[in-house]
Structures are given as C-alpha cells and as structure tokens.
Chains A and B, each alone.
Chain A
Amino acid sequence: MDFNLSPEEESFRDEVRAFLDENLPPKDERDFAAVAEFQRKVRERRWVGFSWPEEVGGGGGSVMQQVILKEEMAKRNAPSLGSCFMGLAWVGPGIIEYGTEEQKQRFIPDILDSKYQWCTGYSEPDSGSDLASLKCRCELQGDEYVVNGQKIWTSLAMWAKWMILLVRTETDVEVKHDGITCLLVEVDTPGITVRPIKNMAGNAIFAEVFFDDVRVPVENRLGEEGQGWRVTVSALAHERSSISEVYGLTRTLARIRELAKTCQRGGRPAEEDPHLRRRIAQADMRIEAMRLNGMRFLTKQLKGEPLGAETSINKLLRAQLEIEFGELALEIEGSLSVLGKGDEACPEDGHWQHVSLNWPELVIGGGTPNIQKNIIAERVLGLPKD
C-alpha cells in the first residue's frame, strides 16, 4: 500500500493547483461570465474530455491524471469542467466508441466546447428500471427513421439542442435487449413536444418528451441498428469514479455540523445531543468508506483490471448519504424544519428543506438503490436473475 503520488503525478498535481490559484474565481464572484471564462481556460488546457483520445480533441490524460484533476477541482469546489454535462459524461464517450468519422467531427468539438446542452431519452412511462423493455417505435422509411412514442424523466430536455435517444426498431425479438437502436436527434425536429415536469422540490429539471412522426436522418444513428443497448451500456460505464464526489459530501456534512452549532435542542446546542452526534459520525464514517472504496477500485483500474458491478457499492452509500443529509438537517432544525424558503424564521432560508426534497434527482437517476442491490446480488454474488 502506498498513497503517495509519483514525481510525475505530483508535478501534474502542482500544475493543476497553480492553474486553480490563478484562474479559479472566488466563491462569491462566480457569476455566469466568470464561470464561462474559467471553463474556457480549462478547455484551453485540454482538461475537458481529459480522458478522451487526443485525435478527437481530448486530453489523452492517464487514469491517474484524470483522478488528480477531478480531485483537485473537487477540493476547491471548482465549477464543472464544462456545462455540457451529459455530453461530457456519456454521449461523447459513446460517439467516440461507436460513432462514424463524420459524427465524431460533427459532435465532439461542440461537446468539448459545451456549445449546447445534450439530453438523454432513455426512460419511458412503462420502462424505468426495466429500461430494455422500452417501446418507443421507430421505422426505417427510405433514408429516414420515423419515431413515434414517448420518453419521460428526460433531464434538461427543455434546454437541450440534441438528444441521445433509444428506440425500438424491432419488436419480434427473443431477447428484449435486441431490437433497440440509438439515435442522435435534434430536439427542435418537427413532431417533438417537450413538456416540463415539476418535481416535489418545486423545480422543473426533467420533462416528458413526445414523438409524433419525428423524422431522423439515417446518418444520425449511433452504432448499428439493433446495437443500441450495447452502445448505452458501454457509454454509461464511463460514469464511474466516485472519489471526487467525496469532497462535496464532506462539505455538506461540515455545513450540517455548523447548523448543529446554531440550532438548539432541549435548550442546548444541537451538536451536544448524543443521538445527533451519532448520526453525524455515521455519515462521516460512510463518506470515508466511499473514499477508500473508491481508492480500492482505482487501484484495480490502475492494474488494468476491469471494474465490475462492485462500483454499485458506492452508489448505494451515496444514496444513503444524500437522503440522510436532508433528514439529519431537518431533525437538527426541529420545529422550524416545517418552514419553507421565504419565511423569516426558516433556518438558512429553506436550504435544507430543498435538499431534503431534491435527493431523488441524485438517487433515482443512475438506477434506484434497489436496482443497485440487484446488480450486486446477481453480478457479484452470482444469485439467479429475477
């Protein structure tokens, strides 16, 4: 065991730190323009798409360099590397692996520059956790695909220019995973209607998307017809590392500890309450477990061993923590926890009320906790499939 960086890794870390010292705008000066300027400079360094091959405009960074970059950025609570979140997270990697030369040239530079937003049309009203059962119909007519059906829980659809879309091109298949095709679709194509859905926190982040005879040129297909499931699985597999997430979780817990100093419980500061102290320690312990689990997974990666379903461990821990944070903060606030944003007596102007209602975005999105447990049980423990 050795937690030290090699001299080359250290010098890369120093480079990142020096860059952040010089270019990271202070917390209270991060308006839209300042963040955009920061992201432009990050892009200049080729740290956006840092893991992508250099020939498509990526940074060609090693696994360890990517980890260092992410970690240093997370430590300083820097803005994301680019605003094109889904493009950078999985659409880009999918296009690099399965796209045609023409698709790479058309989309990858724009994703790296975060020119516009991508959204992800996977879930349907009847196909959530059981995504492969999706039904959105798609027929080839001449050199166009014609799409009819509905998607739901499509985050950012109302602001996105492009969508990565899964459709069913064949219904008569033995295995439901076959017959699925992946298309890249412009959201303003005639026949597409986007209807925002307000979530329980009061925000509209995701939407329903309806497709009514939507025509998509055949050259916008990603991968082969019928190969869509594989394209999706391999693209999502890039969404892995969890070490850098730990810094955000640590910051949230530190903020909860501050809250516990200011709120009273039984006439004494809440931080002296043994039950709450225990809850705070439990969260601290789980965050550290996530960090160290992540280090063990990273060690595997560095040795060239493929990461399997064990990464679901940290997804489960993260889910527990995200839910617990909101609940813990509300318990610390006590009677005042029932008040909402805008009320003078509401602690921190409703911050924790929002946190406690907003966790599903993080917890349900990449597969619910129950699905993560199925993944562990079936793929790691070898139990029979349901």
Chain B
Amino acid sequence: MNFGFTEEQELLRAEVRKFLDRNCPLDEVRKVAETPEGFSRQLWGRMAELGWVGLLLPEKHGGAGLGWVDLVVVLEEAGRSLLPSPLISSVLAGAAIALGGDSEQQSRWLPDLAAGTRIGTLAFQEGDGIDPAQTSLAGVTTDVGFRLTGEKLLVADASAADLFVVAFRASEASDALSLAVVPRDAPGLGVEPHISVDLTKPMGRVRFDAVEVSGADVLGPPGSGGELLQRLIDCGATAVTAELVGAAEAALALTVNYAKERVQFDSPIGRFQSVKHPLAEMYVDIESTRSLCYYAAWLLDENPSEAALAVSRAKALASERFPKLGIDVVQLHGGIGFTWEYDAHLYLKRAKWGRPAFGDADWHFERIVRLAAAAASAV
C-alpha cells in the first residue's frame, strides 16, 4: 500500500518547480500573458526538450511513456506558477490520437506533438455545457470523408494550436459522434480569439466553413467518437484539477505570508482567528482535492473504465471550493488584494477559469449521484 509518489516523481516535481521558479516568475507570467500568442514559444520549446510536453506519449513516438500520475506532478507545478502554456491542450490532443488513432495516424502526428513542434487542442464545446451529446457540428459525408460546417466555442489555446481534434456529428439524424484531426491551415478553418477573463488561459472560436476532412484524419471508426470524447473530458477534468490544486496552494502561501507580515491592531493579522480559520479551511480543501485528484490520475493509468466517479469527485470539489478560495484570498488581503498590480487576482481568475472547465460542480455532482448509486448496487 503506497498512496505517495516515487522518488523519480518527487525528483520530477523538484525539477519542474526549479525550472518554473527560475524561468516563469509572476512578472514573466504577466508579460507573456499580454502578448498576442499568450505563451512563450521559447519556454515551450525547453519544456518539450525536458520531456514534459510528450510525457504521456509512447517512447517510439518520441514521448516519455509515463502516466497520468507523473503528469499530475508536472501540472500541479505548472499551476503553482500560473504558467501560461498550451500544455493541457496539447496533452489532450496527443491522448486523443494515442487512444483513438491507428498506427499510421500515430506516426503522422505524435512525434511532432511530443517534440512540441506542433501544438494540439481539443475542439468540442459549442456553447454552455460539456456533454458530448450537445455536439451539433455537422459532418456531411463526401467521397473521401466528411465536410465540416459549423463552429466550436471555448477552444483552449486555439490561437496557438496547429492541430484541432474536432468532435462532429456524422449526420444530423445520427447520435454517433466522430473525432477528426484537422490542421490549422485546412481551407475554410478560421480562428478568432475569445476575450478571456483569465489572461493566462487564452481561448478561441473556431469556424468550419465547408472544411474537407479525409477519412484518414478520422480517429477510429466513424461514429465511435462519443466514448473517446468522454474519456478525454475526464482526462481534461483531472488535468485542470491538478493545475487548480497547484494554483490554490500558491494562493494560500501568498496569503499566509501576508497574514504573518501585515500588522493591524498591533499584531500580525494572522494571529486573529477570523484570519486563521479561513486559511485553515483553504488548507483542508486543497489537501482533500489533492487526494481525490491523485486517485483519479492513478485510475486513469491503471483502470480507466472505473475512473469516471473518481474524476467527478475531484473536479466537483475543485469547482465548488476554489472560486471561494480565490475570493477569500482577495478579501484577506484587504485593499491591496483588489489591485491589478498585486497578484491575488491572478489566482482568483484562474479559479474562475477552472470552475466550468471540463464540467462544473453541478455537472459532476449529478454524475456522482448516478455513478455512486450504480457502484453501491454492484457491491
């Protein structure tokens, strides 16, 4: 029995943290987030060299062949630094191809994704909600494959992406979904950046105006994409939770330091229970989310068909508690926490970004009720 990390995983954590502390302090985060691309190509290249971008991908395609537990270590640290990067997006695109693609497709795309020379992302949402069943982007059958017409919203890192893993409906009558890999330069594909509240998490609207997709670009048999998409959404929920845990921990550390230094009523405010108690509650929420997230990641590696309930428990707690945590961080700082210059709002905005990503608390709570009932009756 061991619910902890290996020595290698602890070393990986230390390495990522050291790298990001040195190369991506918060003033750098702010600078990078305000550039048109929203992330640093140079930093991305170095992360790819270090093997973090292709962490999950098979070694024969240039990846590190590691698992979700390892990735969670990297993502927690990325979250702690509020690193602006398309890491989660590209990991999910890679996972889509690794899980759903045939060997030709894997050889075609995975080496570039592992090397970071191409960036991928998942394009699945078309408005509010994350259910695969809500997909309406139409794919009309052609001689060679499909012609896609419609649009995707809230596509993470859309401006940076070279490859879009797109969910579409093969015909209007069918409830069968397919996933296709569409390159950015496909004729008829247009990207328009959204205006994001959290500048460190750029998103975009992707328009498909009769975009031709060859059958060779469709992952798995046409119509089989629903299950794969759901799996990717679970992967995404776990990834986002890991990042949120890291960010929340940094926000707590910032606030604890402030509470130790800020003197009012002749005492550091951290002596007052009205300050102590919300900080203790944050700690409880962070550690609990962390436990749930690690277990979800472990199941994604070891027994993915049983992971959904664990994923929902983790993401539900993160979505429920972390926006509140961000508000407390701002409030406990008083006036300074409300300024653009101080860093508190960066964490608050990150938590607000994470709340609906890959399912909000309500969506996951509803799934918990259904799956927990099924699990209980199976015993």
Contact = CB atoms under 8 A, between A and B. Distances in A.
Interface of A: 1-5, 9, 64, 67, 254, 257, 274, 277-278, 280-282, 284-286, 288-290, 292-293, 295-296, 298-300, 302-303, 310, 313, 316-317, 370, 372-374, 376-378, 380-386
B46 interface: no
Contacts of B317: 285, 289
B259 A383 contact: yes
A380 B253 CA distance: 12
A281 B1 contact: no
Given A1-B69, A377-B280, 7 more contacts: A1-B3, A254-B376, A284-B313, A289-B288, A303-B4, A374-B277, A383-B256
Contacts of A280: 369
With a 10 A CB-CB cut-off, give which of B267, B268, B288, B295 has the most chain A CB atoms.
B288
A140 B289 CA distance: 53
A289 B287 CA distance: 9
Interface string B263-295: 000011011010111011101100111011011
Nearest to A315: B284
B284 A384 contact: no
B292 A377 contact: no
Contact of A310 (B287, B295, B313): B287
Interface in B1-55: 1-5
A249 B56 CA distance: 37
Contact of B1 (A4, A288, A310): A4
Contacts, number: 143
Interface string B303-316: 00000001001001
A258 to B, nearest CB: 10
Interface string B63-94: 00000010000000000000000000000000
Given A295-B291, A374-B273, A383 B5 contact: no
B4 A299 contact: yes
A311 B330 CA distance: 27
B361 to A, nearest CB: 8
B108 interface: no
A378 B276 CA distance: 8
B59 interface: no
A68 to B, nearest CB: 9
Contacts of A303: 4
A302 B281 CA distance: 27
A286 B288 contact: yes
A298 B1 contact: yes
A372 B364 CA distance: 29
Contacts of A372: 280
B3 A288 contact: no
Interface in B287-346: 287-289, 291-292, 294-295, 298, 310, 313, 316-317, 320
Contacts of B252: 381
B2 A2 contact: yes
B362 interface: yes
Given A292-B291, A385-B271, A282 B1 contact: no
8 contacts: A1-B5, A4-B1, A288-B310, A289-B288, A296-B294, A298-B1, A377-B270, A383-B256
Contacts of A378: 276
A295 B316 CA distance: 20
B372 interface: yes
Contacts of B294: 1, 292, 296
B306 to A, nearest CB: 12
B260 A384 contact: yes
Given A295-B3, A376-B280, A382 B256 contact: yes
Interface string B184-195: 000000000000
B284 A281 contact: no
B279 A2 contact: no
A77 to B, nearest CB: 14
A317 B280 contact: no
A278 B361 CA distance: 9
Contact of A373 (B256, B276, B313): B276
Contacts of B276: 373-374, 377-378, 381, 383, 386
A316 B280 CA distance: 10
B373 interface: yes
A284 B2 contact: no
A2 B268 contact: no
A284 B368 contact: yes
B368 A383 contact: no
Contact of A64 (B1, B289, B369, B373): B1
A9 B275 CA distance: 45
B343 to A, nearest CB: 19
Interface string B144-184: 00000000000000000000000000000000000000000
A282 B320 contact: yes
Contacts of A299: 1-4
A3 B284 CA distance: 23
Given A2-B2, A295-B1, A295-B291, A373 B260 contact: no
A277 B69 contact: no
Given A64-B1, A299-B4, A313 B288 contact: yes
B157 to A, nearest CB: 29
A71 B56 CA distance: 35
Contact of B365 (A278, A289, A292, A302): A278
B366 interface: yes
Contacts of A293: 287-288, 291
A339 to B, nearest CB: 27
Given A278-B365, A382-B256, A288 B313 contact: yes
A382 B3 contact: no
A289 B369 contact: no
A323 to B, nearest CB: 15
Given A1-B69, A1-B294, A281 B365 contact: yes
A281 B366 contact: yes
With a 10 A CB-CB cut-off, give which of B280, B283, B295 has the most chain A CB atoms.
B280
Contacts of A302: 1-2
A247 to B, nearest CB: 12
Contacts of B281: 316, 373
A313 B281 CA distance: 9
A281 B360 CA distance: 13
Contact of B288 (A67, A254, A317, A376): A317
Contacts of B369: 277, 280-281, 284
A111 to B, nearest CB: 29
Nearest to B270: A383
Nearest to B283: A376
Contacts of A295: 1, 3, 291
A370 B273 CA distance: 9
B2 A1 contact: yes
A385 B271 CA distance: 6
A32 B325 CA distance: 49
A292 B366 contact: no
A285 B1 contact: no
